[in-house]
Amino acid sequence: MRTGVLLLHGLTGMPSELRPLEKFLQKNGFETEAPVLAGHGGTHLDLIKVEWSEWVDSARLALKQLLTRVDKVILCGLSMGGTIASMLAMEVPERCLGVIILSPTLDYDGSNLDNLTHQRALKLKSFRNLLHLMVDTFPITGGWFYWTETPPYGLKDARLQAQITKSIDAAKAGTSNEFGLFRTYFASLHQMKLLTDHFKSVAQNLSCPVLVMHSLEDTLASMNNATEMYKLLGSQDKRLIALTGCDHVMTLDLQRHYVLKRVAEFVERITDKTFVLPRKENPVWTFELCDRLSEEGSSYFNSFIQQNPDYLAAQKALTESQKVECQGSHLEIKMNNQIQAVMPLFAVQGRILTIGYSQKRWSVDFSEQIENYSVKFLLQSFLNDIAKSIKANRICLINGQALSASKTTQVPGVIAQKSVAAKKR
């Protein structure tokens, strides 16, 4: 069976940001197609003239071209490209094997917007809604407001940051370069909102396997985007990998080899292909939200249950006494792809995210075994994001005790997000 992969870049991006992944797939025998989305590859003026449906149309044309050469396809997108990939997958369900969404971006709400005072307002939902209303009523206003990316440009790799800084003058002048455009006008952000609104209305119809990967240190789009995307997708076979050590453009950044490896594992599982994996790999922690445990995770969890017989009794009491919305969801915690813990999750009545851990087990696994304070802080932040995505305002251990930020050590120099346990979001 011939299998192809469609690779879609993000807003203001270029296919070059997916080039390492494309070469990796080609080397392992896959046909690929990586189009330039409508309005991209030129100037800012070219981009602000384009509507969201034209982005989808250009991606759809590339998909049709790929389907003439292969039997089955996998759709992959970075940032906004992941949204488009998911939408197209629903158009060809009989020929789509799976979807890969890297750094999902439903909204730009990362810390990069804090670098310039006038851009911070774009993080305020009320201000954004006002601008969307203005652009809807008076389209010309979409060219009045813009957001300019500043270092680190969605990258942790200092070498790439330096290269982008050298070429940024071209982007400021309104022309594209090999890295894309680094000024985003609100006209384009408005079109992305319309695209996202449409995606949200149909996301439950996506039924194929899905892999979502997002960095816990993304400076362009917060982890809220990934947890929201995971919640929206209707697939019963989906996994969200939250990783450390890279930024938004993970296909070019310091963890690119790890990203290639996890993409390969996913593709191997849904196809009959075998990959030659990259040898190089940096140390990485991942928190992986899933409805179906991996083989290693299942083995670990069975051992966990045997060592903690009180867990099943507590779980039964919890599920019988209250409505549980996401029973069956688990969080696999890994270091260098090796399981360190498996955490069962329950959303009780939509207001409480319950973690299937006793206070004693939590202390052992996350105070003694995991000594890295940064990892503890990121775990707490990720749990907060999961809770926010299901509109929970409290995080508790299975015995009912609230889990607050004080349960994990905060990283010096890092401003901790307020726990949902302390403040309703």
Strand 285-290 and strand 238-243: the pairing is antiparallel
Architecture of domain 3-270: 3-Layer(aba) Sandwich (3.40)
Q: Determine the average pLDDT of the residues in 118-141.
A: 79
CA angle 274, 239, 33 (to 5 degrees): 55
Q: In a 10 Å sphere around its CB, with 0-12 CB exposed, 13-18 middle and 19+ buried, how is residue 80 labelled?
A: buried
Q: Which of 19-23, 208-212, 283-287 has the lowest mean pLDDT?
A: 283-287
Nearest to 8 by CA among 112, 103, 92: 103
pTM for the structure as a whole: 0.88
Position 406 pLDDT exceeds 50: no
Measure the CA–CA gap between 341 and 376, rounded to whole angstroms. Answer: 13
What φ, ψ does residue 81 adopt, rounded to 5°? Answer: -60, -30
Q: Give the model's pLDDT for residue 211.
A: 98
Position 199 pLDDT exceeds 90: yes
Q: Give the model's pLDDT for residue 421.
A: 32
